Each structure stands twice: as structure tokens, then as C-alpha cells.
Amino acid sequence: MWMCEDNIVEVPFDKEHLFEQILSPANLNRAYKAVIGNNGSGGIDKMSCEQLFSWLLANKDALIRSLMDGSYRPNPVKRVEIPKDNGKMRLLGIPTVVDRLVQQAINQVLTPIYECQFSRSSYGFRPRRGCHDALRGAQEIINAGYIYVVDLDLERFFDTVNHSKLIEILSRTIKDGRVVSL
């Protein structure tokens, strides 16, 4: 059982076998489909989503072996600037397609564990939540009589995340060091 923002929620997961769940063929297949479905641009290696299948045919076993023996290291991200509404530029990091596959496989296993712990008022990067949900939430707040809005953009937020603190927080729930080290 987990204490969440609003109530106690039963979260069914096997904490002892998370690493195996991440590397399970079914989970990796779902991750592959999600990455291909997103059809994002290639990373520094210039591999496209269309090339991932043939790469996996030749390299899947080596990738899984590197994940299992702890030698897997993600590639550096490709840095791309995109314009913001205010005329400034936002720096994006684009991982390689293979690294996105690994990230997606991890995400699919960890999201059910952590999702219930997030704020009900949080809408960004959440499953089954989007901008229309955020607008409905804002309308409820307005209807409740609130009249002030704070608009902020945390500049370079992801560049300044304290990774040691993040790993400490993950380690409170995830006891398998292989998962945390990924």
C-alpha cells in the first residue's frame, strides 16, 4: 500500500522483479511500438525510427546483455534549439532511438508505481492527462473564486535536476540497484 496525495492506494507490483519486467519481451515489444509510434527524429547517431527494427534484429541480444551486466551506457543527446513563444530559444536534448527504447521500457514499468504519488493538479508528461484536462482544472479553480494566476517557466529546469537527490528518492521505493542505476 502507498500513501498518495488524496488517499491510500493499493499499487500492485512486484518490487523484487522490476528489472526482469523491464527486460521482458512483452515490455520491450510495447516500448518498441511506442517509440515507433512517436516517430521522433534521430539522435546523434542519426538512426531513424524506421531503422530501429533492423538494428534490433542484429543487436538486440547485445543490448539486453549490456543492460543485464551493467555495461549499458546511454549515448550523448543531440542538442537542438527550438523557438519559444517569447522569441527566446529552448534547448532540447534528443536521445538516440535505441536509448529512447530503453527509456520507454523503464518508464512503462515505473509509471504505475509512481503515478499515484503525483499531485492531482499536475498534468505535464502524465498518462491519460493532457492540456484539455489542465484547462478543465483551471476552469474549476476559476469557478471556485480564485482570481490570481502565476505564470512561470523554470528556465533550464531539466538541466539543473539534482541527480543524486533523484536517485535517493527512487531508491526509497526501488530496492533493485540494477533498476536505479539505469
Long-range contact set of residues 51-58: C-beta below 8 Å, sequence gap at least 24:
51/97, 52/97, 52/98, 52/101, 55/97, 55/98, 56/32
pLDDT of residue 173: 86
CB of 6 closer than 8 Å to CB of 163:
no
Q: What's the mean pLDDT in 57-79? A: 96
Please state, rounded to an integer, the average pLDDT across all residues of the chain.
Answer: 87
pLDDT of residue 129 exceeding 50: yes
Q: How confident is residue 7, by pLDDT bands cut at 50, 70 and 90?
A: very low
Q: What's the mean pLDDT in 99-122? A: 90
CB of 92 closer than 8 Å to CB of 79:
yes
CB neighbours of 91 closer than 8 A, spacing ≥ 6?
79, 80, 81, 156, 159
